[in-house]
Amino acid sequence: MKSRFWQALIVLLRLGAHKKPVEINTVKFGKLLGVSQQTASRRIRELLNAGLITREVTRKGQAVSLTNEGVEALRELYLELKNVFEEVPKFLTLRGEVFTGIGEGSYYVDLPGYKKQFISRLGFIPYSGTLNLRLKSSIDVLNRKLLEKMPGILIKGFFDEKRTYGDVKCFKALINDSIEGALLLIKRTHYGEDVVEVISKENLRQKLGLKDGDIVEVKVFLE
Amino acid sequence: MKSRFWQALIVLLRLGAHKKPVEINTVKFGKLLGVSQQTASRRIRELLNAGLITREVTRKGQAVSLTNEGVEALRELYLELKNVFEEVPKFLTLRGEVFTGIGEGSYYVDLPGYKKQFISRLGFIPYSGTLNLRLKSSIDVLNRKLLEKMPGILIKGFFDEKRTYGDVKCFKALINDSIEGALLLIKRTHYGEDVVEVISKENLRQKLGLKDGDIVEVKVFLE
DNA sequence: ATTACTATTCTACGAGTAT
DNA sequence: TATACTCGTAGAATAGTAA
């Protein structure tokens, strides 16, 4: 459809021509479109020929209605815009400060009961160790809590002779906009709720040259 | 804004240029717009001058982003369309079968405690009598229940020496697409929930030539 | 009053091509 | 390859009017 038709259709929609015939003359219509009376007159005839409106000419002007086709064209435009503007965010970003844990990360990651699932569900063989991040801002903590409510990727817990190992929820993630990995939300952790752990197939500390106190950005994909 | 700009902005939105710079060359852009490479090139420069996009020319093409101004222009369009297409229905239609009641309708309508309010709130002097309608389809009964949850126009109850008279909720209505009146939802009625009553300044039975068993359509306005 | 025809102006497009 | 300039032309807008 010619792009100048859209403007005219939207003006008519604004006047309510999708519900009932709208009384309008070519001078007014021209003003609304920012064109001359002659052009407004021609525009109406163009829309008419395109089957987008119907009208009845009276002595005072014309009663113009959008046809179903006209309304549907606008609805299509609406739905397209809706898709963009009402889109649920597909990722969120957490920022946290690197710190050294007690080294249990590598122990857990290497447990076959977890490791097999990491490989199959995340698509990479995790490096033996986790990067601990402490969230510094309250908005990051809030976002972390939000993640707890999302489905994510659930790594099932298991048990051996000694003890049981809890479920781990994880999300695919991009670390510092460069390295792919995953964010782990470990249910039973001795850390507070301001701590998250990150894994990757790489040694993140080495690859990113990180030391304690550095800030790392994790883009978390919500599936 | 020139109407041919809208089409271009929407194409860019579709490509995600509101989120991140989009790699595109003028040939592709032209194809998407249905214009030549030259026109696409010119269009980009026009949008640039209008402050609707930013870009960076590379050897492979250009990385185009919508500016805030560009996104906001589209969002405004979106909100306008949303207003129209997500509009809550302003009326609903009930269909019911005419039947003869026990004649108490005219007694109630004529009670000054009600009548004064009908006149002031509905804008007409009601004919002394109500038209009783029995809803036949379950969808009509559902719609009637929906009406009970809507605010409507509340006619306050009152009491005299003998007894109390309950509240009456009513809605302006159009009967058989021709006569204005009101639908009454009477709280304490000996009829079931499949019955509604309709009043008007006219004698509806006479004016519409109705007899028992006829079907009447009531377009109920939800305020 | 209107709408809309005709003649004219103007602007937007695309072909050719420079960069 | 890209982008974007020049320029001839198609067609869109307007002024002047007719109906």
Residue nearest to nucleotide D5 (CA to C1'): B38
Model pTM?
0.62
* Token reading at B110: 């004529």
Q: Please choose, from the candidates B35, B36, B34, B29, the residue with its C-alpha nearest in 3D space to the C-alpha of residue B14.
A: B29
Residue B6 confidence (pLDDT): 96
Question: What is the residue whose two structure tokens read 């009548």?
Answer: B115
Mean pLDDT (whole number) for A155-180: 92
Residue B189 confidence (pLDDT): 63
pLDDT tens digits, A11-63: 999 999 998 889 999 999 999 999 999 999 999 999 999 999 999 887 777 89
Least-confidence region, from A5-9, A145-149, B1-5: A145-149
Q: How many Cβ atoms sit within 10 Å of the Cβ of residue B62?
A: 18
Residue nearest to nucleotide C14 (CA to C1'): B36
CA of B41 to C1' of C15 (A): 15
For B6, the closest of A6, A18, A80 (CB atoms) is A6
Contact call for residues B219 and B93 (beta carbons, < 8 A): yes
Residue A188 confidence (pLDDT): 61
Mean pLDDT (whole number) for A178-183: 95
Residues lining strand C, beta carbon within 7 angstroms: A 24-27, 37-38, 41, 44-45, 57, 59-62; B 2, 4, 30, 35-36, 38-39, 42-43
Q: What is the DSSP letter of B88?
A: P
Contacts 24+ apart (CB under 8 A), B108-116: B108/B165, B108/B186, B109/B199, B111/B165, B113/B157, B113/B158, B113/B160, B113/B165, B114/B155, B114/B165, B114/B168
Residue B105 confidence (pLDDT): 83
Q: Please choose, from the candidates B25, B22, B67, the residue with its C-alpha nearest in 3D space to the C-alpha of residue B48.
A: B67
Percent of residues, chain A, with pLDDT higher than 70: 99
- Which ranges of B56-103 would DSSP assign to H, the alpha helix? 68-85
A-B interface: how many C-beta pairs under 8 angstroms? 47
Residue B178 CA neighbour count, 13 Å, CB half? 7
Residue nearest to nucleotide D13 (CA to C1'): A39
* C-alpha to C-alpha distance for A187 and A85, rounded to whole angstroms: 34
- Residues of chain B with Cβ-Cβ distance to A6 below 8 Å are 3, 6-7
Residue A162 confidence (pLDDT): 85
Contact call for residues A92 and A20 (beta carbons, < 8 A): no
Residue A6 confidence (pLDDT): 96
Q: What is the mean pLDDT of chain A?
A: 91
Q: Please choose, from the candidates A90, A55, A57, A78, the residue with its C-alpha nearest in 3D space to the C-alpha of residue A6.
A: A78
CA of A139 to C1' of C13 (A): 52
Percent of residues, chain A, with pLDDT higher than 90: 72
pLDDT tens digits, A121-144: 999 999 999 999 999 998 999 899
pLDDT tens digits, B83-138: 999 988 788 999 999 999 888 888 899 999 999 999 999 999 999 999 999 999 98
Taken as a whole, chain B contains a residue count of 223
Q: What is the DSSP letter of A88?
A: P
pLDDT of chain B, 223 residues: tens digit per residue: 899 999 999 999 999 999 888 999 999 999 999 999 999 999 999 999 999 999 988 777 899 999 999 999 999 999 999 999 998 878 899 999 999 988 888 889 999 999 999 999 999 999 999 999 999 998 999 899 889 888 899 999 999 888 889 999 999 999 998 999 999 998 766 777 899 999 999 999 999 999 999 999 999 998 7
